[in-house]
A = this chain, B = another copy of it.
Amino acid sequence: MKTTEINYTECLSHLKGNKLFKHLNEDAMVSLLGCFNYKKWKKSTAFFHADGIANNFFIILSGRLKSYHIDLNKDREYTVSLLGKNDVTDVLSLLDGAEHDINFEALDDIEVLCTTNIKMRAWMEIHPEIYKSFMPYMANRMRVLEASLTDNVLADIPTRLARFFMANTDENKKLININDLSHDELANLIGSTRAVVNRHIQHFKEAGIIEVERKHTYIKNFQLLSQRVYESNYY
């Protein structure tokens, strides 16, 4: 690993805190780190599918990275997932070798460990115990995808918005991770548009559920929010 900007032990401790890799023994850990380069990207750096980015494999150390699709006809974007610390990408092209046409954009300054799918696959061949630890990670990602899918089909936008806020609260009932996003980004995340999301945010404000400042959202009444979430349900 190139250690120009971050030291080796720091990276090691990152991996040891990552569910996918924490179970590895010291030797495997060292050889894994040998495959990666440490990189930083500025906020708003974008990677398009066409750039061949999907043939690389990243472990996110800090910052948020969104994966998204654009509709060229209409002027719309959909954020498929919001990746953060301890997430990896792109799992799909890594695991089945096929192309994955999706784009990425850094929502913050981010730090990643970077390698190619080819190198990563070679390492996995030698350390097959890694496959098992990928299982719950993939299962969790699938759960999120499936929940979003069902939501987007069956739930209206205020419901999706409420659920999205709810899903991003911590134990103190405060909004985390998405509290500094613009209404535009929120819209991309729940599959709608800025104007519509803004409309419903006004309703939530009137109802006393949330408070809004420029690029900041706060939950004002958690009780009301969870009420709004559980009004509509499916099984």
Q: Is A71 an interface residue (CB 8 A)?
A: yes
- Give complex CA distance A74, B74 in Å: 29
Q: Is A6 an interface residue (CB 8 A)?
A: no
Of all chain B residues, the one with the shortest Cβ separation from A97 is B136
Q: With both chains docked as a complex, state the minimum distance between the C-beta of A198 and any C-beta of chain B, in angstroms.
A: 18
Of all chain B residues, the one with the shortest Cβ separation from A156 is B74
Q: Is A191 an interface residue (CB 8 A)?
A: yes
Residue pair A69, B154 in contact (C-beta under 8 Å): yes
Q: A129-B128, A150-B78, A152-B153 are in contact. Are A139 and B73 (CB under 8 A)?
A: no
Most chain B beta-carbon neighbours within 10 Å: one of A49, A140, A235: A235
Q: With both chains docked as a complex, state the minimum distance between the C-beta of A187 and any C-beta of chain B, in angstroms.
A: 11
Q: Is A70 an interface residue (CB 8 A)?
A: yes
Residue pair B235, A49 in contact (C-beta under 8 Å): yes
Which chain B residues border A152 with CB–CB below 8 Å?
149, 152-153, 191
Q: Is A233 an interface residue (CB 8 A)?
A: yes
Which chain B residues border A135 with CB–CB below 8 Å?
95-96, 131, 134, 138
Most chain B beta-carbon neighbours within 10 Å: one of A49, A78, A98: A78
Copies of this chain in the oligomer: 2
Which chain B residues border A129 with CB–CB below 8 Å?
128
Of all chain B residues, the one with the shortest Cβ separation from A153 is B191
Which chain B residues border A70 with CB–CB below 8 Å?
234-235
Interface residues of A in 44-75 (CB under 8 A from B): 48-50, 69-74
- Give complex CA distance A71, B73 in Å: 31
Binary interface profile of A, 67-87, with partner B (CB < 8 Å = 1, else 0)? 001111110101010000000
Residue pair A142, B92 in contact (C-beta under 8 Å): yes
- Give complex CA distance A138, B92 in Å: 9
Which chain B residues border A26 with CB–CB below 8 Å?
none
List A residues at the B interface (Cβ < 8 Å).
48-50, 69-74, 76, 78, 80, 91-92, 95-96, 98, 100-103, 128-129, 131-132, 134-136, 138-143, 145-146, 148-150, 152-154, 191, 232-235
**What are 6 A-B interface contacts by the 8 Å CB criterion?**
A72-B234, A78-B150, A101-B235, A102-B146, A148-B149, A152-B191
